[in-house]
Structure 1
Amino acid sequence: MPSFTRRSLVALLAAGSLGLAACSGTPSATPATPAATASDGALKVGIAQIVNHPSLNDLRDGFKEGMAAAGYVEGSDVVYEERNAAGDQTTLTAIASSYATKDLVVAIATPTAQAMIQALPDTPIFFAGVTDPVGAQLVLSLEDPGGNVTGTSDFPPVADQLALIKEILPEAKTIGLLYSSAETNSHIHADLVKEAAPALGLSVQEATVSNSSEVAQAAESLADVDAFFIGTDNTFVSAIESVVQVAEARQIPLVVSDPDSVARGALAAYAVDYRAQGVQTGTMAAAMLTSGGKAGDIPVERAKDLELSVNPGAAQRMGVTLPQAVLDRAEHTIG
């Protein structure tokens, strides 16, 4: 991914909305985890995420794994406080304010990182699961983030994701793009999809939602497409079962950017290994703590591991057969 200048950042921001996710259909926000017994000198780390779904949970757990591998033992060297906003922006803002006394904060997903950065100008912040840190105005550039922020990006392999749809459905002409109008990362991913689709002979129909209660209705509104596609969208992923039901009923294959959604009924995903990205982020944070440097001086890293996951059972329920070539190169076959 090329670096971005301030001018390109302004252009990106002007091109799309910078709203935050609001998933009113998600469970209530989780309270703070109890602090583990630890010595007074233990590092105090706050971990925040916008909603509860497996990939974001993998980022959280992977971060702690990366820190542990670097020698930070939970309960003695480091104490974690974990909070989940359940898609509510007011709750997310409150979580950010409550983390003002932390030594380091982990922000999982784009809306979370935006809230943490706004509230915590002096606390080192490491984000994970952020699609475009520059476009979301989190950093000045990938090479030189600036300020008190750095982390890892799950910038999507959009051309390869759409090519997978064509490989599974060679006759496909139209894809139904589903995303939240309230998530910066989703606007960025959607724009990339619309740019890449014509080269593969695909047109795009889109339906957006503002919260998870609208997910099923949005999918139902795209009845004439050849395939559904969902990018790195927290609102849709948190309610993926609603889209799966529509995909099966309408016999429309569902391809996603979230590997855990395949286990929940989607057809396929070519996507980041989120547990590995969490470990990568934890390793970066541990290195900064060891060196005594500043977060903003550490270049943002792209996720290093991309994997193909497929669900033959879901394919059958959606009326398609996965090509043998796809099955042969899949790292994960589910169902």
Structure 2
Amino acid sequence: MKKRFWMTAAAAAVMTECLGNAAAAEETYHVGICQLIQHEALDSATRGFKDALTEKFGDEVVIEEQNAQGDFYLCSTIINGFVAGNVDLILANSTASLQTAATATSQIPILGTSVTKYEAALQLDDFDGTVGGNISGTSDLAPLDEQASMIQELFPKAETVGLLYCSAEPNSQYQIDVMTEELEARGYTCREYGFSDSNDIASVTTNATMECDVIFVPTDNTAASNAELIANVCIPAGIPVVAGEEGICRICGVATLSIDYYDLGYTTGQMAVRILADGEDISTMPIEYAPAVTKEYNKEICEKLGLEIPEDYVELQME
């Protein structure tokens, strides 16, 4: 009898250990990250998001990070894999990633980041700042009126501003539409130069440099990942580029009114913590924005073009 009791106790101990391990496993969160393409801004947002999660959860979070390398079909495959694996939360880093995730699941919480306008990306009517359903996130939109004022401050004698962007990115088109209105109100003539993909960036940019005094490039993933192509055309032509974010500005721009994408990603990570650990309802979480914007300038390119920058601009740190 004692022997039987000992075995029963041992079995109970094993069962208790197994249940304990199962409980621990249940406390481990599985988060999938789909980043559309590799460039500085999106990389920084992903890094900030991961840091916020690991600071809170440590080893209790498993993060599966995948990069679609600009391939929209691969982006869909990645997202569908996360859905099939029933992850606890999806980070959609970029507009295309957000759109794909929104189509793939209405159940798994989706946080977007590096998305400029959620109403444009998701075709929302009467957007009041909260998407609803299983989607929320952060926006990388810096105030466009302030960006237009910055162009006016730096180039008051310019007449024509070229708006260079990827026509396949709805958030870029939104920025161009608003910037056109803002710049025309300040007396500039605006010309749009849209490229469909990286293959025609050089030729489209060349046309812009021949017809414009200044070029504006918005927060645009295709432009960001091909900023060297833009630099190789604009700098020799002596045409300054004002960029919508600092990653583009580091490579081809003279100035930017930019957010910090690491901070943006970190803020998104904090939102994820509130969903996973605190049980906050994502459907009631409004879109959040970067806490601050900064006027920055690229000293090297400004010197090449002989530009003097006002003292309240911060020199862009080159990485």
TM-score by length of structure 1 reads: 0.83
Partner deviation per Cα, 1:202-233 (whole Å, 9 max, x = no partner): 11111111111211111001112011110011
Counterpart-to-counterpart distance in 1, 2:316 and 2:215: 21
Aligned to 2:5: none
Residue in structure 1 matching 2:308, options 322, 326, 329:
322
CA contact (8 A) 1:173 1:226 kept: yes
Counterpart-to-counterpart distance in 1, 2:207 and 2:315: 33
Partner deviation per Cα, 1:228-261 (whole Å, 9 max, x = no partner): 1100110111100111111111100011012122
Aligned to 1:78: 61
Shift of 1:331: 5.9
Distance of aligned partners of 1:333 and 1:64 in 2 relative to their CA distance in 1, 3 Å threshold: closer
- For residues 250-269 of structure 1, what are the structure 2 equivalents within 5 Å? 250-269=237-256
Counterpart-to-counterpart distance in 2, 1:108 and 1:46: 11
Partner deviation per Cα, 1:105-155 (whole Å, 9 max, x = no partner): 000111110001101221100001111101222766344321100001112
Matched, 1:55 2:26: no
Aligned to 1:145: 131
- For residues 72-221 of structure 1, what are the structure 2 equivalents within 5 Å? 72-73=57-58, 76-100=59-83, 101-137=86-122, 141-221=127-207
Matched, 1:236 2:223: yes
Counterpart-to-counterpart distance in 1, 2:123 and 2:188: 32
Structure whose residues are more often helix by fraction: 2
Aligned to 1:292: 279
Aligned to 2:6: none
- For residues 3-22 of structure 1, what are the structure 2 equivalents within 5 Å? none
Aligned to 2:291: 304
Counterpart-to-counterpart distance in 1, 2:206 and 2:271: 42
Q: Give secondary structure in 2 for the equivalent of 1:286.
A: helix
Aligned to 1:275: 262
Query: Number of residues paired by the alignment?
Result: 291
Percent identity over paired residues: 30
TM-score by length of structure 2 reads: 0.87
Counterpart-to-counterpart distance in 2, 1:273 and 1:142: 25
Amino acid at match of 1:330: V
Distance of aligned partners of 1:143 and 1:163 in 2 relative to their CA distance in 1, 3 Å threshold: closer
Amino acid at match of 1:329: Y
Counterpart-to-counterpart distance in 1, 2:164 and 2:252: 16
CA contact (8 A) 1:129 1:153 kept: yes
CA contact (8 A) 1:113 1:138 kept: no
Shift of 1:53: 0.3
Partner deviation per Cα, 1:270-307 (whole Å, 9 max, x = no partner): 11111111111111111122221321221111221212
Counterpart-to-counterpart distance in 2, 1:293 and 1:186: 31
Aligned to 1:226: 213
Counterpart-to-counterpart distance in 1, 2:135 and 2:185: 36
Please provide the CA RMSD for this pair: 1.7
Shift of 1:330: 1.6
CA contact (8 A) 1:50 1:109 kept: yes
Counterpart-to-counterpart distance in 1, 2:42 and 2:317: 21
Amino acid at match of 1:288: I
Q: Give secondary structure in 2 for the equivalent of 1:264.
A: helix
Counterpart-to-counterpart distance in 1, 2:252 and 2:207: 20
Counterpart-to-counterpart distance in 2, 1:57 and 1:310: 21
Contiguous gaps of at least 5 residues in structure 1:
1-38
Distance of aligned partners of 1:271 and 1:254 in 2 relative to their CA distance in 1, 3 Å threshold: same
Counterpart-to-counterpart distance in 1, 2:123 and 2:286: 13
Contiguous gaps of at least 5 residues in structure 2:
1-23
CA contact (8 A) 1:132 1:153 kept: yes
Counterpart-to-counterpart distance in 2, 1:77 and 1:138: 36
Amino acid at match of 1:118: T
Amino acid at match of 1:224: E
Q: Give secondary structure in 1 for the equivalent of 2:153.
A: helix
Distance of aligned partners of 1:143 and 1:176 in 2 relative to their CA distance in 1, 3 Å threshold: closer
